[in-house]
Amino acid sequence: MEYKKIPSKYHIGGQEIEVRRVERCDNNACGTSFLAGGYIELADKCNKCDDIPERAKVNTFYHELTHSILDTMGESELSANEKFVCCFSGFLADAMENAFFKEE
């Protein structure tokens, strides 16, 4: 299955969120969300991995998207629950990867 491109920006609750590709994120994370700053970061390298596969970057994008949605909703407890965010974003990425769109 071919993965869709990661967007360069998206909108949540009327706020534009820029998607930045960086070499490394703080704390060697694979991605980070900065809702107040209006951006998320996706790393090319994290921990001991010097080249994150595109599939993993797509999953990280959905992970950070989930954080930005929950933060916009004021659900800071859920957003801080990494187990929930990982599980939810994994299902979301899977659903979008395998979605079929009817051509009109």
Residue range(s) defining the domain that contains residue 27: 9-97
Q: 35-91: per-residue pLDDT in tens?
A: 999 999 999 888 766 788 888 899 999 999 999 999 999 999 999 999 999 999 999
Which pair of structure tokens corresponds to residue 64? 């950070």
Is residue 42, in this structure, part of any structural domain at all?
A: yes
What CATH number corresponds to the domain at position 92? 1.10.10
Is residue 34, in this structure, part of any structural domain at all?
A: yes
pTM: 0.87
Q: Write down the pLDDT at residue 47.
A: 73
Is residue 79, in this structure, part of any structural domain at all?
A: yes
Angle, vertex CA 10, rays to CA 90 and CA 97, nearest 5:
35
Is residue 1, in this structure, part of any structural domain at all?
A: no
For residues 37-64, one letter each, b for 16 or more C-beta atoms within 10 angstroms of the residue's C-beta and e for the rest, the string is eebbbbbeebeeeeebeeebbbbbbbbb
The count of structural domains within the chain is 1
Is residue 102, in this structure, part of any structural domain at all?
A: no
Is residue 73, in this structure, part of any structural domain at all?
A: yes
